[in-house]
């Protein structure tokens, strides 16, 4: 499959997406060592996930977006923020893409959709994320979008084999 053949839709997730999102998150968890989540995937059942999607859709400072190719969810991007007034402006970003679609610009498109959403929210003023130091492709993507490194957290994660990993904290101010 070449990049010219792919038509991508990126939109906010709805409750009907729950089964596909659960399947994608489980698959992504098994395809990459770069996520906290492992091959077991998300800790929600589909019904609970659908309910959470409805709540997210109604939230002004939280979002879950899905990337769809050929009517199938192939990636997710999210912003998670607090309901507490003093923290509501801080959004934690998460992104997952099926390995089959790595290298096609999907991650960049999803990150830009998240930045646009945050800018339009009127609430989110800071996006932040953590990324393993060894995930150089993701770091380059985040830098391309405009994220800057704030800190290196030593022993911020570990592998299934109990090897400690350094993690980079990155942020993007929305102004």
Q: Helices in 90-155 by DSSP H: which ranges?
A: 106-121, 136-145
Instruction: Find, among 93, 121, 118, the residue nearest to 107 by Cα.
Output: 93
Question: What is the predicted pLDDT for the residue at 169?
Answer: 97
Least confident of 16-25, 63-72, 115-124: 16-25
| Separation between Cα atoms, residue 161 and residue 131, nearest integer Å | 19
pLDDT at 149 over 60: yes
What are the counts of helices (DSSP H) followed by strands (DSSP E) for the chain? 4, 7
pLDDT at 138 over 80: yes
pLDDT at 42 over 60: no
Distances in Å between the alpha carbon of 156 and those of 79, 116, 163? 21, 29, 11
Rounded percentage of the chain residues whose pLDDT exceeds 70: 92
What's the whole-model pTM score?
Answer: 0.87
The CATH class for the domain spanning 3-128 reads alpha beta
pLDDT digits (tens, 9 = 90+) for 85-137: 999 999 999 999 999 998 889 999 999 999 999 999 999 999 999 999 999 99
Question: What is the predicted pLDDT for the residue at 41?
Answer: 47
């Amino acid at each position: 499959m070449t990049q010219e053949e792919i038509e991508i839709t990126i939109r906010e997730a709805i409750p009907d997406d729950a089964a596909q999102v659960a399947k994608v998150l489980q698959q992504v968890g098994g395809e990459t060592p770069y996520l906290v989540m492992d091959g077991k995937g998300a800790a929600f059942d589909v019904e609970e996930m659908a309910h959470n999607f409805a709540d997210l859709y109604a939230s002004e400072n939280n979002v879950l977006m899905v990337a769809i190719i050929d009517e199938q969810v192939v990636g997710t991007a999210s912003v998670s923020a607090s309901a507490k007034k003093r923290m509501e402006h801080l959004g934690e970003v998460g992104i997952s893409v099926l390995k089959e679609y790595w290298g096609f610009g999907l991650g960049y498109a999803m990150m830009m959709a998240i930045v646009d959403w945050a800018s339009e929210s009127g609430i989110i003023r800071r996006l932040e994320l953590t990324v393993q130091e060894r995930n150089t492709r993701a770091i380059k993507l985040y830098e391309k979008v405009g994220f800057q490194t704030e800190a290196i957290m030593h022993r911020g994660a570990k592998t299934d084999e109990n090897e400690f990993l350094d993690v980079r904290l990155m942020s993007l101010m929305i102004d």
